[in-house]
Amino acid sequence: MRRLTLLLALPTLFLAAEPAAREMRLTTPDNYVLAGTLTVPEGRGRHPVVILAHQFRSDRTGWAPLVQKLNARGVATLALDLRGHGQSTQQGGAAATIPSTYLTASEAMGFDQIPGDLALAATWLRKQQGIDGRHLGLAGSSEGAFAALLASNKIKPTAMLALSPLGAEAFGPGARARMVAAATRAHAALMAFVATEDKETEENLAPLRPIYGSNIRTFEGNQRGFEYLENHSDVIAVFFAEYLLHPHTGQATDKPLQAARNTSATVLTPSNP
């Protein structure tokens, strides 16, 4: 009976294993030590990957709902702690404490350097085992979204996600114009989220609407950033899977993405999938 019990338990050993996680540490030119987690799904060969840049006063764990769904589709993820956040708080051996207000923090921490930090992470990422650096996605929320758009021309992602891109004032003079120029030259598919009551985000996204490949989704209400993940992480995961796993065909891998395309010019309610 004991032998039978052991045999019955054996199949559990062959269940799909958890994705492998690796910790990243990078030092920026101004001596910030950036922390991040690279999560690679099980399976042989190289995996496409998405770099994730969080919002102000958050950290890499805010992406957890999307990380899980991307990994389940065979897409790796690199979730970063942006400078001054999470475990990225060491500069030149000294601890950096982030101020409470956005503008004060942006000056103290050098938020205008975040696009360069993302480019540095992309260079590191493309050298990692199990990663297909030719098929790379870039995602950001709030300040992370604005920084990701600014960095897109250097990183050259296949697809980008921008959840409520905000914080232009932290990125120097002419930041919005530079962001639009970078996103235009990146030639990447773009999905962006904005709420009808979020006028600042709409001002940032309006110049991106005419760009070929942009899909800017508008929702009723005032939600921002990570608040979209609760109801829309499935659509986002399908978006990245389509462009990173099927880059040559452009064929949708699931119905939710086609629904997103069909509604890209309409105002949606927050409860829509």
Whether residue 13 lies inside any domain: the answer is no
Q: How far apart are CA 77 and CA 67, in angstroms?
A: 6
Residue 4 lies in a domain: no
The pTM is what?
0.86
Residue type, position 133, single letter: G
Alpha-carbon distance of 157 to 154, in angstroms, equals 9
**88-105: pLDDT as tens digits:** 999 999 998 889 899 999
Whether the pLDDT of residue 118 is over 60: the answer is yes
Q: Domain for residue 104, yes or no?
A: yes
pLDDT level of residue 7 (50, 70, 90 thresholds): very low
Beta bridge partners of 76: 49
Q: Is residue 9 part of a domain?
A: no
First to last CA, the chain: 49
Inside any domain, residue 166:
yes
Domain range for 58 is 19-268
Element containing residue 248 per DSSP (H, E): none
Q: How far apart are CA 74 and CA 71, in angstroms?
A: 5
Mean pLDDT across the stretch 14-22?
Answer: 71
The CATH number of residue 126's host domain is: 3.40.50.1820
7 domain residue, yes or no: no
Q: Nearest-CA neighbor of 113 among 100, 96, 137, 93?
A: 96
CA-CA distance, 97 to 47, in Å (whole number)? 36
Q: What is the pLDDT of residues 141-176, one digit of tens each?
A: 999 999 999 999 999 999 999 999 999 999 999 999
Residue 62 identity: G
Per-residue pLDDT band for 182 (boundaries 50, 70, 90) equals very high
Q: Indicate the number of domains in the chain.
A: 1
The structure tokens 């009976």 sit at 1
Residue 121: both structure tokens together:
């992470």
Name the nearest CA neighbour of 260 among 193, 160, 212, 196: 193
- Identify the pLDDT of residue 241: 97
- Smallest CA-to-CA distance from 51 within 211, 258, 244 is with 244
Q: What is the pLDDT of residues 24-38, one digit of tens each?
A: 999 999 999 999 999
pLDDT of residue 184: 96
**Under a CB-based contact definition with an 8 Å cutoff, are residues 219 and 195 in contact?**
yes
3-state secondary structure of 46: coil
